Structure 1
Amino acid sequence: MIRTTAWRRHPLARYAVLILALALVGMVYAAFVQASRPADAALASGKVDDVAAGKSLFQVHCASCHGLNAEGTTTGPTLIGVGAAAVDFQVSTGRMPAANPGAQMPRKPMAGWVTQDKIRQLSAYVQSLGGGPTVPTKDQVDPAKGDAGKGGQLFRANCIQCHNWAGAGGALTRGKYAPNLNEATPEQIYEAMVTGPQAMPVFNDTTITPEEKRDMIAYVTEVRAQKDPGGFGLGRIGPVTEGLVAFIVGIAALALAAIWITAKKRQKS
């Protein structure tokens, strides 16, 4: 008893207790994270068994750029912590796998081996590596449940600088560009906001809530269906294209008018 009391009064006792407490917290946290990873994978894929199948697909089609354990290489970034949403977006839009990575990966048809089941399996495997944003549910991206008016305000405040007011896209610096949103599905629009592919910033749920994201999706999908009552839409790119067309048409009309006027004067003389 005397020895125990003396040990408690020792100057190093408080530090020993602190170290033991931190070690205990670390072990509990590690056990919790390890236990939650299968649940995250199941949430992303619907089947825990998809993780094993996704790992096999990853090693065959993705490991050459991203590493055998998705740790990243000189040609591809690490995928640990990017989440299932990033995989679903990149693979479903045909941006990945990429034979020749460049400044901007264009949207293209999905690779021949890719199916929705395989995308789900790859997503589940990457989700199991370190968590991250999961694939959104149908309810989260349903345009019918969103407010297009509020979505338009949010879109104009956060997105038109790159994507144009109608989602037509536009050029950026260093060979990059904001892609056209007309072909993007509601799921892909949501996934792009939460993962921030390439030059796009990440809009997490504290910046733009899931409900506001759905409102923005409602706006983007509604704008697609709008007509152009004023005439040709010209790709809805904006005043530069419209001004160029007006200039070319106007100059051509003036040139033709000048030719016609001079031709009439020659006939009279």
Structure 2
Amino acid sequence: MPENRTPTAARGRKAGRRHPLASIALIAIGLLFTGGAYAAFSTSTASAETDMASQQTIEEGKKLFAANCATCHGMGAEGSEDGPSLIGVGAASVDFQVGTGRMPLQMQGPQAEQKPVQFTDEQTAALAAWVASLAPGPAIPEGELLDGEGDTANGAELFRINCAMCHNVAGAGGALTEGKFAPSLSGVSAKHIYEAMVTGPQNMPVFNDMNIKPEDKRDVITYLKYLDNNPSPGGIDLGSIGPVSEGLFLWIFGLGSIVALTVWITAKSN
């Protein structure tokens, strides 16, 4: 005798069937969760490794500072009678002073003299990292701010307004008071020029982002690099220190040549 199936039972069995795509969906969900968990774990691991490397760099910088800088600046960089506090000067200041050889200081004087660099790039970075960890301050610049692809004309105008009175319009440097001087900017790296603007080393004022915007600093660097790559179109630049050297050249060599020629002509006629 045939089995009697009610419509309700048939519908229940039909409703209990698995959809053909259910297995694929289940696999996709599993892969999604697995991938997400792996990505989260990888990110946390990479972050931990980065933090560990940064901490090691800071510790190395602290040791270098204690061995080479603490005599003047104090063990905690709080400063002393022989050196200013470095708390809050930022990594950019350390990178400039140490990276250009001005620090460690060779001797006490009106200002720090540039000399051969005493530390490797890695050691300089470690020193900068430790000082930066003490308090917020200007960071080491990077990226397009240093590419020398800014507006040369705008950079030249900004340089004439803000820098030429000390460094000369051609960046050749000049004398200041009490034995101090503004150094030549010829051949100085873009990074060190930017760092000097934001930290104000020696007698230089600080040009923060409120005074000169980062894009304008890039333009100033572009102008200085233009001067490096384009020698004087008039011939010998006589040091590019302006009318004083040019006037002396005319008086000594020009007028001297005229006097010598006059004497020769007179002697010849006699």
- Residue 226 in structure 1 maps to residue 233 in structure 2: no
Cα contact 2:187–2:228 (8 A) shared by 1: no
Query: Could you tell me how far apart the structure 2 residues matched to 1:66 and 1:137 are?
Result: 28
1:254 positional shift? 1.9
Cα deviation 1:125-168 (Å, max 9, x = unaligned):
00011111010013221112x11111111011100000011110
Amino acid at match of 1:199: N
Identical-residue share of aligned pairs (%): 51
Give the structure 2 partner of residue 241 of structure 1: 245
Output the CA distance in 1 between the equivalents of 2:59 and 2:178. 39
- The answer to whether structure 1 residue 80 and structure 2 residue 84 are counterparts is no
Q: Which runs of 5+ in 2 are unaligned?
A: 1-49
1:126-145 aligned at under 5 Å gives the runs 126-144=131-149
Structure 2 residue 176 is the aligned partner of structure 1 residue 172 = yes
2:213 maps to what in 1?
209
Instruction: Report the CA distance between 1:54 and its aligned residue.
Output: 0.5
1:107 aligns with 2:111: no
Q: Which amino acid aligns with 2:256?
A: A
| Structure 1 alignment gaps of length 5 or more | 1-41
Q: 1:88 is matched by which residue type in structure 2?
A: D
Matches within 5 A, 1:1-269: 47-111=54-118, 114-144=119-149, 146-266=150-270
What is the alpha-carbon distance in structure 1 between the residues aligned to residue 151 and residue 56 of structure 2? 38
Task: Judge which range, 243-252 or 99-108, deviates more.
Answer: 99-108
1:39 is aligned to none
Distance 1:95 1:250, change over 3 A: same
Indicate if the aligned counterparts of 1:166 and 1:224 stay in contact, CA closer than 8 A: no
| Counterpart-to-counterpart distance in 1, 2:64 and 2:233 | 49
2:5 match: none
Contact kept, 8 Å, 1:103 with 1:175, in 2: the verdict is yes
Root-mean-square deviation over aligned CA pairs: 1.5
**Cα deviation digits, residues 205-238 of structure 1 (max 9, x gap):** 0110000000100000111111223221111111
Runs of 4 or more consecutive aligned structure 1 residues displaced over 2 Å after TM superposition: 46-49
- The normalised TM-score by structure 1 is 0.79
Q: State the shift of 1:190 in Å.
A: 0.2
For residues 37-62 of structure 1, what are the alpha-carbon distances to aligned partners after superposition, in whole Å with 9 as ceiling and x for unaligned? Answer: xxxxx89xx83431111101100000
Following superposition, the deviation at residue 110 of structure 1 comes to 0.4
Partner amino acid for 1:82? V
**Bigger Cα Rg:** 2
Deviations 1:64-107 (A, max 9, x none): 01001001111110100101000000001000001312112122
How much has 1:244 moved relative to structure 2? 0.3
Give the conservation status (yes or no) of the 8 Å contact 2:170–2:227.
Answer: yes
- Say whether the 8 Å CA contact 2:89–2:199 is kept in structure 1: yes
Change (3 A) 1:223 1:149: same
Deviation at residue 261 of structure 1 after TM alignment: 2.0
Contact 2:148–2:221 (CA under 8 A) maintained in structure 1: yes
Give 2:39's aligned residue. none
Distance 2:234 2:187 in 1: 24
